[in-house]
Amino acid sequence: MLEKMIFGRYIPGTSFVHKLDPRSKLLFVFIFIIAVFLANNTITYAILLAFTLLVIFSSRIRLYFLLSGLKPILFLIVFTMLMHIFFTKEGSLLVHWGFIKVYTEGLRQGIYISTRFLVLVLMTSILTLTTSPISITDGMEDLLGPLKRFKLPVHELALMMSISLRFIPTLMDETDKILKAQLARGSDISSGTIQQRIKAVIPLLVPLFVSAFKRAEDLAIAMEVRGYRGGEGRTRYRQLTWSWRDTAIIILLVVVIGILIWLRG
């Protein structure tokens, strides 16, 4: 399962979303996060879900591949929905089976919250899947450029976030290799009591932390020998270009926000 994780991964492509400027995609995701909280009824949530599916279709990333890579998050989404369904005691009683009681308000809130969580995860995943870590760094640094007047290390902050995103799939691959090596030696973390599983995970965590620190040290040495001294005085080989696509996608999102505000209540 770990080799299918898509967090932090980048898939090269030539789709409409791939061709967007990283600044517009970052702005799009930030505004979309705000727009999600404007939905408060069935119609507005349906519009959000349809708009998310439209973006996924425009990125040419298969929905099955996207959902299969988000299985851990999907489990959390389902768990959140069930918590609302079983523990919200408002509205009319729908189901009464033993100690289980399901109310209309609990079912409604469970569906709404899980849908909100799902579209947020899908949209942020599309950002990382269609934008290289270097482009994310350049776009973030450019957007945060005005903060340099307040002596904030914008370049360093953007670089740290980009490296963090890039390390996620690397650590997942490393975890998968260590897990397979432990299984080949007879270790089993999928059976037994909770205490036994916790003890079985320890041999997995120790080499993972050692590998993570080793990779971080190698990266620091590589940056040092190449003369990296921060963002002061640095030039860019890649120039960001804002095109009509970027303007169109932001305008489309603003239109969707206007529709959500109109349909609220």
Question: Cα torsion at 73, 75, 81, 85 (round to 10°)?
Answer: -160
Instruction: Indicate the residue type of 207.
Output: P
- Where along the chain do its domains lie? 2-263
Cα–Cα distance, 243 to 139 (Å, whole number): 14
pLDDT score recorded for residue 192: 61
The token pair at 161 is: 């976030």
Cα–Cα distance, 123 to 29 (Å, whole number): 7
pLDDT score recorded for residue 1: 45
Q: Tokens 């439209």 belong to which residue?
A: 54
DSSP string covering 212-241, please? HHHHHHHHHHHHHHTT---STT---SSPP-
Q: What is the DSSP letter of 97?
A: E
Q: What is the pLDDT of residues 109-147, one digit of tens each?
A: 888 888 888 898 888 888 888 888 778 877 887 887 777
In this structure, are residues 20 and 246 in contact, taking their beta carbons and an 8 Å threshold? yes
Q: Tokens 């189901």 belong to which residue?
A: 95
pLDDT score recorded for residue 227: 76
- Name the pTM for this structure: 0.75
**Residue-by-residue pLDDT tens, the chain, 265 positions:** 444 566 667 788 888 988 888 889 999 999 999 889 888 888 998 999 999 999 999 988 888 888 777 777 777 888 888 887 777 777 677 666 776 777 777 788 888 888 888 898 888 888 888 888 778 877 887 887 777 777 777 777 877 877 777 777 777 777 777 777 777 776 666 666 667 666 767 777 778 788 888 888 888 888 888 777 666 666 666 777 888 988 999 999 999 999 999 988 6
Q: How far is CA 64 from the centre of its chain?
A: 16
pLDDT score recorded for residue 3: 47
Cα–Cα distance, 111 to 77 (Å, whole number): 10
SS3 129: helix
In this structure, are residues 20 and 247 in contact, taking their beta carbons and an 8 Å threshold? no
According to DSSP, the residues that pair with 97 across neighbouring strands are 100
191 burial via Cβ count (<10 Å: 0-12, 13-18, 19+): exposed
pLDDT score recorded for residue 240: 79
